[in-house]
Amino acid sequence: AAEPKTLPDYVRWKNANDMIVHSANTIETQRGAVGSGVVTASDKLYVRNNLPAPDANIVADRDAWKITFEGVNSPQSLTLGDLKKIGVETVTTVLQCSGNGRAYYEHGPGGTQWGTGAAGCLIWTGVPLREVVAKLGGVKPGMNYITSTGGETLPEGLDPNTIMVERSVPVKALDQALLAWDMNDEPMPLAHGGPLRMVVPGYFGVNNVKYVDRVAFTEGQSDAKIQASGYRIRPIGEKGAPDQPSMWEMSVKSWVTAPLTTASQGKNLIYGVAFGGMNAVSKVEVSADGGETWKKARFLGPDMGRYAWRPFVVSMDLSAGDHRIVSRATDTDGNTQPPTRTENERGYGNTSWKDHGVTVTVS
């Protein structure tokens, strides 16, 4: 068995019993810790850092945090205090790491072996990026991407491009992108990107740049390694390259959160979460025989909008023995979660309903 690891200092406030500590910079939510509410409590939310988290002094005077805007008609630096005067909106989104579900790939992709817990559903409050851009005279013509830079202090002596967290997303994401200062109605925790975070609803976690200090509208994508060759869907054995699909929009996905290992014979409530990525989720079906027969589940609790996940529940009669319980979600565009994963070198974007099933022993 793996050595139990304790939470590192910067996330000591998290609920240790709900977390799996893979490393100081990769901490997963236990599959059963999600609960049946819509919103993931901050102290249960996973953490993924490509670089060590910045010093806590960056959240000492939040409103003084500076962010530079480029590729607009009047480029300038604004403080978080200035942004707060421009506008405010709240959106609930699923934050999910590109590598969530990597543990189920059989070719053994390197990187954190995430099961289901590199995901959560959060309430973000901040200013719509489009409102900031309108204040700055609009996007310059010919700009195709929104490029956001993380505010980590980079270690010296290394080529910044090889380590910096800088992500580009297509400029159409201006429709929904938010510069957020609150998460779950509290000031953004440092571990999750305080004082200010770029939130791109419907896009994979990596595009949600923490401690963002620069937003540039750019013609091309960032040259940073994390954009140019990292976070790309590529055939097993191949190197990352800019022409491969980038981890941008998320696809429809669901998984069961209870029961996970054992259950009693007879009627059981089966719980889980489902989301559509860019679209709202419209339907979830559950099977207790590995996908032979399906039963429609019921959504639980409020609909927090198209980018949020929806907890679901279904009652099923379980006989004694082992049952493979799986769930399969469909979005409002009619896309259904596929049975199998798309094999790829880094183990990204796993939505396979087979992979995300659980084997429950009923007695």
- What is the Cα–Cα distance from 87 to 67, expressed in whole angstroms? 16
Q: CB neighbours (10 Å) of residue 86?
A: 15
Q: Cβ 290 to ligand MSS, closest distance in Å? A: 29
Bridge partner residues of 92 (DSSP): 123
Determine the residue type at 52.
Answer: P
- What is the Cα–Cα distance from 77 to 67, expressed in whole angstroms? 5
Burial call 89-104: b when 16+ CB within 10 Å, e when fewer:
eebbbbbbbbbbbbbb
Q: Is the Cβ–Cβ distance between 113 and 37 less than 8 Å?
A: no
- What is the Cα–Cα distance from 125 to 83, expressed in whole angstroms? 12
Q: Toward ligand MSS, which CB reaches closer, 124 or 255?
A: 124
Task: Give contact residues for ligand MSS (rule: CB under 6 A).
Answer: 45-51, 95, 97-99, 150, 152, 165, 192, 204-206, 208-211
Q: Toward ligand MSS, which CB reaches closer, 22 or 135?
A: 22
Q: Toward ligand MSS, which CB reaches closer, 41 or 313?
A: 41
Q: Cβ 204 to ligand MSS, closest distance in Å? A: 5
- What is the Cα–Cα distance from 170 to 151, expressed in whole angstroms? 21
Q: Cβ 207 to ligand MSS, closest distance in Å? A: 7
Q: Toward ligand MSS, which CB reaches closer, 98 or 282?
A: 98
Q: Toward ligand MSS, which CB reaches closer, 34 or 288?
A: 34
Q: Cβ 293 to ligand MSS, closest distance in Å? A: 35
Q: Cβ 267 to ligand MSS, closest distance in Å? A: 36
**β pairing state of 178-183 and 119-128:** antiparallel
Q: Measured at CB, which residue is nearest to ligand MSS? A: 150
